[in-house]
């Protein structure tokens, strides 16, 4: 039996709702063998980020080498990278090991507002990492920062997606959760460089959405690792995160985590 192998290169979330922890939970639920390279350790919970402690580039590189030289990876996800040096290091390693199915989740700001990417690092992200992205999964605020444009309408989102492809990304999945115009539903937009596809879901009013972006991108990564196309991976990721949000765990006193086993339980109860 062929085992799908998925690697996440991201920050650690001590609260367990986002980052490395969310990615590995998602990989496991979708039957992909998960591996990790930690870029930073954060002290955080549902109330916010209390501290960020970045790893050295040597430590990041050694972790990636440990995977690349032994187990290998069928798909790779990047999350919180924090600094230009780490971004460039990761980009060099992705090229060294010729990993092509790379999902870039451009993590920039935590739910509570803490900066997870230094402002001066945005250029490195655009120049070094986006050209290697098989899929990039920004939310609307992240897409605005990456494209230097204001995004209000769906047409704005399409224009921003075209800009991201012009930077080198093969596919763009722009998440619609931050769109205030879509009060009752969320529209996620996929652009493959030629065609646009819309994926719609009901919006659930809840504060328990910590880690939704990480989880969504990780689900896409897991499906790509199993050999699925982007067009087939996105609906699975959409269903996975929808279940995770709707079947909430009600943990913590702030922005609580999503329920990573909800998708599996729903499928088992059919």
Question: Which active-site residues does the annotation give?
Answer: 175, 209, 211-214
Encode the chain in three state secondary structure. Answer: CCCCEEEEEEEEECCCCCHHHHHHHHHHHCCCEEEEEEEEEEEEECCEEEEEEECCHHHHHHHHHHHHCCCCCCEEEECCCECHHHHHHHHHHHHHCCCCCEEECCCCECCCCCECECHHHHHHHHHHHHHHCCEECCCHHHHHHHHCCCCCCHHHHHHHHHHHHHCCCCEEEECCCCCCCCCCEEEEEEECCCCEEEEEEECCCCCCCECHHHHHHHHHHHHHHCCCCHHHHHHHHHHHHHHHHHCCCCCCCCCCECCCCHHHHHHHCC
Sheet strands side by side (includes 75-78)? 48-54, 33-45, 5-13, 75-78, 102-104, 135-136, 171-174, 185-191, 196-202
Q: Within 10 A of 199 (CB to CB), how many other CB atoms are there? A: 17
């Amino acid at each position: 039996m062929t085992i799908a192998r998925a690697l996440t290169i991201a920050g650690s979330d001590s609260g367990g709702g986002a980052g490395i922890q969310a990615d590995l939970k998602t990989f496991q639920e979708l039957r992909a063998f998960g591996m990790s390279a930690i870029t930073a350790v954060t002290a955080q919970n549902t109330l916010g980020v209390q501290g960020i402690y970045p790893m050295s580039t040597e430590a990041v590189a050694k972790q990636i080498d440990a995977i690349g030289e032994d187990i290998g990876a069928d798909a790779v996800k990047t999350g919180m990278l924090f600094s230009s040096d780490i971004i460039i290091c990761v980009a060099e390693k992705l090229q060294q090991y010729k990993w092509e199915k790379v999902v870039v989740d451009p993590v920039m700001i935590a739910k509570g507002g803490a900066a997870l990417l230094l402002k001066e690092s945005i250029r490195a992200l655009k120049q070094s990492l986006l050209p290697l992205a098989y899929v990039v999964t920004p939310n609307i605020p992240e897409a605005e920062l990456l494209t230097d444009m204001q995004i209000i309408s769906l047409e704005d989102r399409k224009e921003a997606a075209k800009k991201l492809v012009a930077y080198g990304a093969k596919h763009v999945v722009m998440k619609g959760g931050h769109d205030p115009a879509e009060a009752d539903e969320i529209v996620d937009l996929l652009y493959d460089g030629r065609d646009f596809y819309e994926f719609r879901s009901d919006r659930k009013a809840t504060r328990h959405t910590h880690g939704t972006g990480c989880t969504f991108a990780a689900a896409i990564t897991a499906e790509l690792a199993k050999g699925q196309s982007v067009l087939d991976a996105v609906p699975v990721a959409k269903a996975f995160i929808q279940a995770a949000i709707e079947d909430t765990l009600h943990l913590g006193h702030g922005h609580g985590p999503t329920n990573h086993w909800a998708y599996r339980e729903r499928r088992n109860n059919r």
